[in-house]
Homo-oligomer: A and B are copies of this chain.
C-alpha cells in the first residue's frame, strides 16, 4: 500500500529519470507521436509541468483549506500545446525538474499528519476523494506517463522490428490514455 514516504521517493526521481532517458535523444524518438490527436515525448513533458503548476499541490491546498466544500478546478490536459510552444526539449526537462522540486518543498512544508491524509475533497468528475488518494495518484500519474512515453517511443520502431512485434508486450498495448 501507498506510504507518503514511498510516494515522495518516486516523485523525487521522475524528472532526473526522464532527463537521463530523453535529453539529447534524436528527434525521431522525442517529437513523433502515435498518430493524429496523440502525444509525443515532448508533449508529455509539457503536460507534467502543467500538472505541477495547477494540479497536485493546488488541489492539496484546496482539500486542506476547504475540504469537500470547494471542488477542485478542472485540470487542462492539453494546456502544454499552448504553454510549451517553441521551447526546446532540454528547457522543458529543466523546467519540470525545477517545478517538481518546488512542489516537493511545498509538500514537506505542509508537515502532513495521518489525520490530514484522511481529509476529503471533491473532484469535479470523480466526486469524493481523499488527500491520501490524491498524493498516491500524483506518483501513479508519473508512472502512467512513463508507460506512455515507452509506448510512444516503441511505436516509432513498429515497422523496423518486423516479426518481433509479436513478442514485445509494448507493441500490443493499445494506448489507454484518455
A interface residues (Cβ-Cβ under 8 A, vs B):
1-3, 5-6, 9-10, 13-14, 16-17, 19-22, 25-26, 28-29, 123, 126-127, 129-130, 132-133, 136-137, 139-141, 143-144, 146-148, 150-151, 153-154, 156-157, 159-164, 166-173, 175-178
Is B153 in contact with A170, judged by CB distance below 8 angstroms?
no
* A22: chain B residues within 8 A (beta carbon): 13
Is B144 in contact with A157, judged by CB distance below 8 angstroms?
no
Not counting A3-B26, A143-B153, a sample of 9 additional A-B residue pairs whose C-beta atoms are within 8 angstroms of each other reads: A2-B161, A20-B20, A126-B164, A126-B166, A130-B162, A140-B160, A143-B150, A147-B150, A169-B175
Is A136 in contact with B160, judged by CB distance below 8 angstroms?
yes
Given contacts A29-B10, A173-B176, contact A137 B150 (CB under 8 A): no
Please report the C-alpha to C-alpha distance between residue A166 and residue B126 in the assembled complex, in whole angstroms: 9
